[in-house]
Structure 1
Amino acid sequence: MPHINIKFFPVDLHRDTEQQLVDELTEAVTTAFGCSPNVVSIALEPVEEQRWQAQVYQPEIVERQHLLRKVPNY
Structure 2
Amino acid sequence: MPHVNIKYHSRDFTDEQKQQLAEAISSVIEKHFNTYEGAVSVALESLPAADWDEAVYGPEITGREHLLIKAPNYHTG
TM-score between the two structures when normalised by the length of structure 2:
0.90
The percentage of counterpart residues that share the same residue type is 41
For 1:1-74, what aligned pairs fall within 5 Å after superposition?
A: 1-74=1-74
Root-mean-square deviation (CA, aligned residues, Å) is 0.9
> For the residues of structure 2 that align with 1:24 and 1:38, how far apart are their CA atoms?
14
Runs (4+) of structure 1 exceeding 6 A deviation are none
TM-score between the two structures when normalised by the length of structure 1:
0.93
In structure 1, stretches of 5+ residues that fail to align are none
> For the residues of structure 2 that align with 1:10 and 1:30, how far apart are their CA atoms?
28
Q: Report deviation, 1:18.
A: 1.1
SS of the equivalent of 1:29 reads helix
The CA deviation string for residues 11-64 of structure 1, in whole angstroms up to 9 with x for no partner, is 220222111100000000000001111011110001111110000000000010
